[in-house]
Amino acid sequence: MNKRKLAVILIVLIVFVAPISYVLYSYHSFGNVLKPGTPKGSEEYVVIYTPSAQFYTLTAEEYKRLIESGTRPPEGSKIFNVTLESYITGSPEVDLNLTLRSVYEYFTIVMGDPSVTNCKDNPQLYIGDCKYRTLTVSEVSGMVANIFAANYYIKGIHMGYDNATAKQYAFNQTYLRYRKAYLNFWTKIDVGRGKLGNGDHLVVLLIGPAEGAEENKVFVPRKGVLVVEGKTDETLRAEVVLIENIIGFQWPKGNETKTVKITG
């Protein structure tokens, strides 16, 4: 093989094969985000949703003691069993707090499979429940946006702004740094290669029936990535409420989701 042919082959490999290999590698790496292996620790929780639209969150052990004491949820209540897994510190509660309370430059809410768009005009084509997927997206987006705004409000105060100006600064910064996406091919590549989900860019992945959810669990596979997985869209919403309780998140007055954390 002469030098000219060898040079042509090398150019082809560099220009075409290498980028394609990188894309395929990044796409494959996304699977490791959803299935990161054996967790360092896990906790079982129970979320109760009563007919009066009240959420209660308990550990599985607390729920067991409640039942053994003869106390049962109101008739008609819905029970959601959720597993929290840790892949960073060994404590899922610590992982959640570290992930959601950290300061990022941007945050992206991945609302789900592109089929979620059917909820707008053709809800019958969506595999899951449009009502609860919409509520879940709204709940998790609002929670993260409020945390972002609080962080940038503090930054505004440190910059010397007065209260009103700091609030406006926080609102503007949160609006500019908020992204929405669907779980398509390119989003999976961006998450797989770390463009989304890192120390500067928080990403929240909603994995429900439309995305092939296999379990009801919440976990942080790496820094900057939060995965909320539920076999039904209603479970997804309950899991977001559980997250709010775990990290001690409080909605601004008048917008709160009615929740009670039971400890015993």
The answer to whether the pTM exceeds 0.75 is yes
Cβ–Cβ < 8 Å for 146, 252: yes
> Tens digit of pLDDT for each residue in 135-186?
999 999 999 999 999 999 999 999 999 999 999 999 999 999 999 999 999 9
Ranges of each domain in the chain: 35-261
> Tens digit of pLDDT for each residue in 62-106?
999 999 999 999 999 999 999 999 999 999 999 999 999 999 999
* Confidence (pLDDT) at 77: 97
Q: Which of 244, 252, 233 is nearest to 57 (CA)?
A: 244
Place of tokens 């008739």: 75
Q: How far is CA 139 from CA 73, 92, 133, in A?
A: 24, 21, 10
Residue 86 structure tokens: 């840790």
Cβ–Cβ < 8 Å for 137, 228: no
